[in-house]
Structure 1
Amino acid sequence: MIRMLLHVLGHEHARPVRRTVALMTTTAVVEGLSYALLVPVLANLFGGTPADALPWLALFGGAVVIYAVLRYVSDLFGFRAGISLLRGMYHRLGDHLARLPLGWYSTGRVGEVSVLAGQGVLDTVGVIAHLLGPYLSALVTPVTIVGVMLAFDWRLGLAALVAVPLVAVIQLRAGRSTAAGDADRHDRDTEATGRVVEFLQAQPVLRAGGRSAQRFALLDDALRELQRASRRTVLSVLPGMIGLTLVVQAMFTVLLVLGAYLALGGGIGVAEVLTILVLAARSADPVLSLADIGGKLRAARSELARLDAVLRTEPLPEAPEPVQPAGHGLAVESVTFRHGDRTVFHDLSLSVPEGQRLAVVGPSGAGKTTLLQLLARFHDVDAGAVRVGGVDVRAIDSEGLMGQIAIVFQDVYLFDGTIEDNVRLGRPEATEAELRAVASAARLDEVIERLPGGWATHVGEGGTLLSGGERQRVSIARALLKDAPIVLLDEVTSALDPVNERAVHEGIERLMVGRTVVLVAHRMRTVQRADRIAFLDGGRIVEEGRHDELLRRGGRYADFWNASLTT
């Protein structure tokens, strides 16, 4: 566990972690050795001169004080190391996520990472602060006490020593049997959580269909699977817990019988037998706690394995010697791109000269949005090349490439801040005059004027406090402020009302002026002013040309256009 943690975090954290482990181990040994002083204390108390126990009792009290000090210091070191690891984990995870390709962030991945970055990280680094000390104490203290028993009476110590490998075997078997159950329960938990969210989001549909009082079958199935997985997990833990209890009880019984036998035979005194039983009882509680602590450690290890899987995800390679493109034209040259098991593009080629507009149309699933993502290097192509200004995007550093491109998607995400904060993301150093100018160009000023907070209005998480049209205006203003020479547009007006659609179209027209533009169009009437139109279907360009030219051909584009006039 510690080795994996250091592997995930980096070996710069190894020294404080090893120091903490060493200190906690020493503390556990001192705790076990302090109980050795109970031997002379009890022997004198039950002997002929009880007063002789006072010096030993004082030594025992001193040992307890030393143990208490060590325990305080080791716990303090554990908390400090935990805080350091927590900071290091967040920094490493944040830096790594910032370097992963944008195409990696699917909806499921975002949810998974949000859980890992929250409770997952806390559970993982909490091992150092909260679990490591008790775990080492549960292991080392009983072993030290067994060593004390061996030194006191080899026969009783040997009887206690037999329990050590039994406990180790039980722990290993319990860990193996519960690991699969823990993984299965995590999967079922994730599925059930998704179904709960789906059920909440589907309320309008369910109620419109008159099913508000009916059960949601998918959610019920997911919850039943989660219940079964939880039951399997509990059942897999029981053998380990029962096994540990039986071993501890058996050890104590063997020591009691053996001690009584030796005492009756005169081989050992009654006080010594009582002392051994006290030591055995003291070692029982830590051993029994191993089941609970071990379960928590396995859960933390599972979270750590998931974090490790994310951190092992390779970011897109950066060019060792980045090249700055000389122009802003776009080209897709014989590109093949696979997403999972599906080939999205095969030998796809098209170009957009600098300053011109290309509209991409086609049926759903043709790969229109994926084409925009490849131009912005959300993914790397499997074959061929995507070029900006004649330079392969893989030869341009990521920051430089994104500085050349402004993207406006249909689904706009705004950060939970003010309108001004969200617009300034395009160019934080922009002046007030520039900010007001882009707001006017995007027709955002109309929104700001009617909002009580004006520019300081909070948009809510994801921009939920604004309407879809208002979010689009913020997004367009942000793109205008960035003033990038290349603009990628995924049809931004398909879900807007006529008033907002007209306002957003005006903003888009101003955004496209003098720039290289690739526009994915779902509404056919938005493509007429494009310099060229490409009809995409089945991963290839079926038709290409100007609007009037494509209509005269009477091909797929003309069919799409005529169909749009009747809807």
Structure 2
Amino acid sequence: MIRMLLRVLGREYAQPLRRTVILMTLTAVAEGLSYALVVPVLRELFGDTPEDAWPWLIAFGAAFVVYAALRYISDLFGFRVGTTMLRGMYHRLGDHLARLPIGWYSAGRLGEVSVLASRGVLDAMSVIAHLLAPFISACVTPLTIVAVMLVFNWQMGLAALVAAPVVAAIQIRTARSTAAQDAEREERDHEATGRVIEYLQAQPVLRAGGRTAERFRLLDDSLKEVQRVSRRTALSALPGVVGLTLTVQAMFTGLLVLGAYLALDGDIGVAEILTILVLAARSADPLLSLTDIAGKLRGARSVLARLDGVLTTEPLPEAADPVEPTRHDLEFDSVVFRQGDRTVIDDASLSVPQGQSLAVVGPSGAGKSTLLQLLARFYDVDSGAVRVGGVDVRAIDPEVLMARIAIVFQNVYLFDGTIEENVRLGRPDATDAEVRAAATAARLDEVIERLPGGWEANVGEGGALLSGGERQRVSIARALLKDAPIVLLDEVTSALDPVNEAAVHEGIERLMAGRTVVMVAHRMKTVRRADRVVFLEAGQVVEEGSHDELLRRGGRYADFWSIAMAPVVRD
């Protein structure tokens, strides 16, 4: 468990964690040793001069104070190390997730990561703050008490020691029997979480279909599976709980019988018997708590295993000696890119001179958006090369590459905050004047003027409090503020009303000026603004040229254009 924790967090936490474990172990030993003073206390109390018990009572009180101080310090260390590790885990997980390829984020993984990043990390890191001390105490304190019993009477100490391997065997067997159930329960929990999210996202569809009163069958089935697996997990752990309880009770009963036999035989005094029975009873409580603590530790270990799986996922490799491009022309050189068994981009070659614009046109599923993602190195190509300024993007430092690229997607995501905070994401150190200028250029100032709160207006999670066109204006203002030499536009006006479309087009014109631009467009009238056009079909470059050239050829682009513009012609 500790080894996995350090593997997930990093070796830099080994020393403080080791100190914490040592301190908790010393605390548990001090607790067990303090009970040794109960023997002389009871011996004097049952003797001829009970007042002689006072020095031993004082010594017992002093030992308790030492134990209490150690417990306070060890618990404090545990909380501090736990919170430090929690912070470190969040930083490490966040940094690693930011380096993983976009293709890793499938729909199923989003739910898994959301659970891991919230409840999962807290559960895993709570091991140090809340579980480690009770677990060490439950293991070490009874063994220390048994050692004390061996000192005072070897027969009863040895009898108590016999229970140790039995308890260990029960714990090991319980862990093995519940391991498979724990794994299945985690899987069902993740599936149920995904179904809940799906159910919430599907509300518009369900309500449009008049199914608001119906139960969502997939969610119901998933929750029933969670209930079934939880019941099986509880039943599989039941023999261990019962077995441990019976073992502890049998040990105490055996010590009681053995003590009575030794007392009747005159081998041990009444005070010693009472003391040993008190010690045995005191060691029973932590032993009985082992099952509950071990179950929580198994749950934390399962979370750590999933965190380890995420953190060991290889990010896109970074060049040992990165090269910084001096130009901003773009090139695809015989690029092949696959997703699973499907070839998305098939031997595509094209180029965009610095300062010029390229429009990528083609049917849905042709791989248009993938070209933009390969340029931004959201993925790595399977063969061929994508170059910026003549340098393979794999040889460029990722931060340097992203600093040179501004991206405006069709579906804009805004963070829950103010409009100004979302615009400043483009360049956090920008002055207020630069932020206002970018907003004016994107015609975002019109939106700000009519919103209550103006610049301080909250956009909601994902920008839910703004319309699609308003979110696009924020995105364009963000890109303008970034002032990157390369601009990637992904169907930014495909779902806008005429007013917002006109405003966004105006912002796009300002954004494109003097920059190298690659745009993916469904609305064909935006293609006319491009210096060159590429028609993509099934991941292959079918035609390339200017808009007028491609129309004169009468090929696939001309057909696509005539179909797209047909409604306009009929009007």
TM-score of the superposed pair, with normalisation by structure 2: 0.94
Partner of 1:41: 41
* Residues in 1 aligned to 2:491 and 2:258: alpha-carbon distance in whole angstroms: 84
Q: Which amino acid aligns with 2:59?
A: L
Whether the 8 Å CA contact 2:111–2:193 is kept in 1: the answer is: no
Q: Which amino acid aligns with 1:160?
A: A
* Residues in 2 aligned to 1:459 and 1:429: alpha-carbon distance in whole angstroms: 21
Whether the 8 Å CA contact 2:111–2:194 is kept in 1: the answer is: no
* Residues in 2 aligned to 1:483 and 1:135: alpha-carbon distance in whole angstroms: 56
Partner of 1:259: 259
Q: Give the SS at the match of 1:185.
A: helix
Question: Within the alignment, does 1:528 sit opposite 2:502 as a pair?
Answer: no
Question: Within the alignment, does 1:190 sit opposite 2:190 as a pair?
Answer: yes
Q: Which amino acid aligns with 1:474?
A: V
Cα distance, 1:554 vs. partner?
4.2
TM alignment of 1:385-396, pairs within 5 A: 385-396=385-396
Gap runs ≥5 in structure 1? none
Q: Give the SS at the match of 2:528.
A: coil
For structure 1, which segment, 137-146 or 157-166, has the greater mean C-alpha deviation from structure 2 after superposition?
A: 157-166
Partner of 2:414: 414
Partner of 1:450: 450
* Residues in 2 aligned to 1:350 and 1:190: alpha-carbon distance in whole angstroms: 43
Partner of 2:169: 169
Partner of 1:426: 426
* Residues in 1 aligned to 2:139 and 2:309: alpha-carbon distance in whole angstroms: 30
Q: Give the SS at the match of 1:466.
A: coil
Question: Within the alignment, does 1:137 sit opposite 2:108 as a pair?
Answer: no
Cα distance, 1:352 vs. partner?
1.5
Q: Give the SS at the match of 1:250.
A: helix
Question: Within the alignment, does 1:62 sit opposite 2:62 as a pair?
Answer: yes
Partner of 2:275: 275
Q: Which amino acid aligns with 2:496?
A: L
Whether the 8 Å CA contact 1:170–1:240 is kept in 2: the answer is: yes
User: 1:362-421, CA deviations, whole angstroms, 9 ceiling, x for partnerless residues?
Assistant: 232222212111101111112111001111111111111112111000111112222222
* Residues in 2 aligned to 1:370 and 1:233: alpha-carbon distance in whole angstroms: 45
Whether the 8 Å CA contact 2:108–2:194 is kept in 1: the answer is: no
Cα distance, 1:321 vs. partner?
2.5
Cα distance, 1:487 vs. partner?
0.9
Q: Which amino acid aligns with 1:265?
A: D
For structure 1, which segment, 508-517 or 546-555, has the greater mean C-alpha deviation from structure 2 after superposition?
A: 546-555
Q: Which amino acid aligns with 1:420?
A: E
User: 1:151-208, CA deviations, whole angstroms, 9 ceiling, x for partnerless residues?
Assistant: 2222211111111111111111222222222222222112112211221222221122
User: 1:502-522, CA deviations, whole angstroms, 9 ceiling, x for partnerless residues?
Assistant: 211221122122221111122
* Residues in 2 aligned to 1:94 and 1:193: alpha-carbon distance in whole angstroms: 21
User: 1:250-303, CA deviations, whole angstroms, 9 ceiling, x for partnerless residues?
Assistant: 111211222222223333333322222211111011001011111111111222
Q: Which amino acid aligns with 1:385?
A: A
Cα distance, 1:48 vs. partner?
4.1
Change (3 A) 1:384 1:71: same
Partner of 1:384: 384
Whether the 8 Å CA contact 2:111–2:190 is kept in 1: the answer is: no
Question: Within the alignment, does 1:550 sit opposite 2:568 as a pair?
Answer: no
Change (3 A) 1:434 1:279: closer
For structure 1, which segment, 317-326 or 202-211, has the greater mean C-alpha deviation from structure 2 after superposition?
A: 317-326
Partner of 2:244: 244
Q: Which amino acid aligns with 2:271?
A: A
Partner of 1:302: 302
Q: CA RMSD in A?
A: 2.0
Q: Give the SS at the match of 1:527.
A: helix
Change (3 A) 1:36 1:51: same
Partner of 1:88: 88
* Residues in 2 aligned to 1:531 and 1:411: alpha-carbon distance in whole angstroms: 25
Q: Which amino acid aligns with 1:79?
A: F
Whether the 8 Å CA contact 1:156–1:259 is kept in 2: the answer is: yes
* Residues in 2 aligned to 1:164 and 1:342: alpha-carbon distance in whole angstroms: 58
Q: Give the SS at the match of 2:351.
A: strand
Partner of 1:461: 461
User: 1:404-456, CA deviations, whole angstroms, 9 ceiling, x for partnerless residues?
Assistant: 11100011111222222222222233344433332222121211121222222
Cα distance, 1:492 vs. partner?
1.1
Change (3 A) 1:526 1:29: same
Q: Give the SS at the match of 1:337.
A: strand
Cα distance, 1:552 vs. partner?
4.3
Partner of 2:287: 287
User: 1:110-158, CA deviations, whole angstroms, 9 ceiling, x for partnerless residues?
Assistant: 4433332322222222211111111110000001111112222222111
Q: Which amino acid aligns with 1:304?
A: L
Cα distance, 1:547 vs. partner?
3.0
Change (3 A) 1:430 1:60: closer
Q: Which amino acid aligns with 1:65?
A: V
Percent identity between the aligned chains?
77
Change (3 A) 1:393 1:80: same
Cα distance, 1:557 vs. partner?
3.0
Partner of 2:116: 116
Change (3 A) 1:169 1:360: same
* Residues in 1 aligned to 2:307 and 2:175: alpha-carbon distance in whole angstroms: 20
* Residues in 1 aligned to 2:60 and 2:433: alpha-carbon distance in whole angstroms: 77
Cα distance, 1:525 vs. partner?
3.3
Change (3 A) 1:349 1:459: same
Cα distance, 1:553 vs. partner?
4.2
Q: Which amino acid aligns with 1:253?
A: T
Question: Within the alignment, does 1:325 sit opposite 2:320 as a pair?
Answer: no
* Residues in 2 aligned to 1:365 and 1:171: alpha-carbon distance in whole angstroms: 55
Cα distance, 1:347 vs. partner?
2.1
Q: Which amino acid aligns with 1:446?
A: E
For structure 1, which segment, 148-157 or 282-291, has the greater mean C-alpha deviation from structure 2 after superposition?
A: 148-157
* Residues in 2 aligned to 1:454 and 1:58: alpha-carbon distance in whole angstroms: 71
Whether the 8 Å CA contact 1:123–1:303 is kept in 2: the answer is: yes
Partner of 2:495: 495
Question: Within the alignment, does 1:538 sit opposite 2:538 as a pair?
Answer: yes
Gap runs ≥5 in structure 2? none
Whether the 8 Å CA contact 1:103–1:373 is kept in 2: the answer is: no
User: 1:221-247, CA deviations, whole angstroms, 9 ceiling, x for partnerless residues?
Assistant: 111111112112222221221121111
Change (3 A) 1:355 1:305: same
Whether the 8 Å CA contact 2:330–2:390 is kept in 1: the answer is: yes
Partner of 1:227: 227
Partner of 1:152: 152
For structure 1, which segment, 439-448 or 546-555, has the greater mean C-alpha deviation from structure 2 after superposition?
A: 546-555
* Residues in 1 aligned to 2:106 and 2:514: alpha-carbon distance in whole angstroms: 33
